[in-house]
Every structure is written in C-alpha cells, then in structure tokens.
Amino acid sequence: MREIVLDTETTGFEPESGDRIVEIGAVELVNHVVTGEVYHQYINPERSMPQGAFEVHGLGDDFLRGFPTFKEIGQAFLDFIGDAKLVIHNAAFDMKFLNAELEWMGLARLPADRAVDTLAIARSKFPGSPASLDALCRRFGVDNAARTKHGALLDSEILAEVYLELIGGRQPGLTLAATGRRDAGDEAWRPRPRPAPLAPRITDAERAAHEAFVASLGDAPLWRRT
C-alpha cells in the first residue's frame, strides 16, 4: 500500500482571495514504511508574500521569484503522488489549495476521500487534548527540534513519524493492550515470573518415542561429548 505524507506552505488562508501555494513537501510510505522517496518544490506564487508570512516560512519575494509557478510543476507533482492516499494534517486546508491550483491549470480536482486527515485521527483518539503537530510530537516523543520555521518537507517528515504512531506504530494492528496492574506511566514495570511452572504437555507415549529415537542415534551424539 502506497501513501504520500504531504504538507504545503501558502501565502495565506484563502485561495479565493488570491493566496497561493509557495512550497510542497511530500514523503512516500509503502506499507507504512518510509521509503526515502520525497518530493520537494518551492513555487513562485506570482504575487507578493504578506509581511507576516516571512517569519513563518523564512521565504521572501526575491527567493521565490527564481522558482517555477504551480502550472509549471503541477503535472510533475501529480505524477509523484499517483493514485496514493494523501496523509495530511488538517487535510481540508491543503486540499483546498491544491484543488484551486489544479483547477487554475484546467486539471481535475483531487477527490476529498483521497485524504487521510491526521488532525481528525488525533482528535478522535485523544478527545479534548491538543492536536497540533507540535503537540503530537510531544505526545509521541518525536524530535521536532529542527522545526524553528515551518517548512513543507520537514513538516512532512515529522508528520510521517506522527502518523505511524497514530495508527499504532510501524506495525499497526500489533499494539498490545496493557494487562495486570501495570501503571502506564511506570517505566520500571517488569513482568513477574510465573509462581509455578506450567505442567508439561508432552504425553508419556511421546516421551518414550523421543527417548527411543535418541537411543537409535548411537552411543556418542554431539550433545553427550565432554
């Protein structure tokens, strides 16, 4: 199963008001394992970056002017994602911008059901708790120390780790429930030895057959040598 963990950076909040995508970062997962294949692209938004966005993105007009527009890279982006599910934090926001840019190119929109929204998963799994990407990094112990500025590729790499934790770790479905009187916050907990050994399940006939087989191997098997 192929999935693409995706993030975008934009000039603002509403494509209908003229805001555009300025960066796309995407990380490929296959069977919930990061493959190392990524897509990263800065984009010329063909408009000025709002003053407040400079601090968020660390990007400026002069920097972005040297990159292609979305219509120049849109098909390459679609080729990379293929028909994979798109794993996005607050998917409605990114999908809104991607579909606006695709429509302006004359291309088909991405169906809403292609998006897996990690924000919705987190809110369902931890109701009432903070569900921002930073909050989830703290919850799962994901290192986000490099996240001093928003960046689409870095955020995608971090989100990939968070997503795997949200669905149960790198092998979803194998999470074991705690049993006994273990305190979930007690890191010193260790399983106690069984008070009495289990009774052997081998029958007398099976034991006799085994002993006869061993005897047939001769008088000097390797395990009897000293």
Helix (H, G, I), strand (E, B) or coil at 10: strand
142 contacts 158 by C-beta, under 8 angstroms: yes
Q: Which residues pair with residue 117 across a beta bridge?
A: 88
Residues 6+ apart with CB under 8 A from 4: 26, 27, 28, 29, 39, 80, 81, 84, 85, 86, 87
2 contacts 84 by C-beta, under 8 angstroms: yes
Single out the catalytic residue among 32, 57, 89, 150: 150
Measured CA to CA, the distance from residue 32 to residue 4 in angstroms comes to 10
For residue 220, give both structure tokens. 């000097």
Helix (H, G, I), strand (E, B) or coil at 142: coil
Q: Does 150 participate in catalysis according to the annotation?
A: yes
Length of the chain: 226
Helices 118-125 + 91-105 axis angle, to 10: 160
For residue 12, give both structure tokens. 């603002």
Measured CA to CA, the distance from residue 144 to residue 137 in angstroms comes to 7
Active site residues: 150
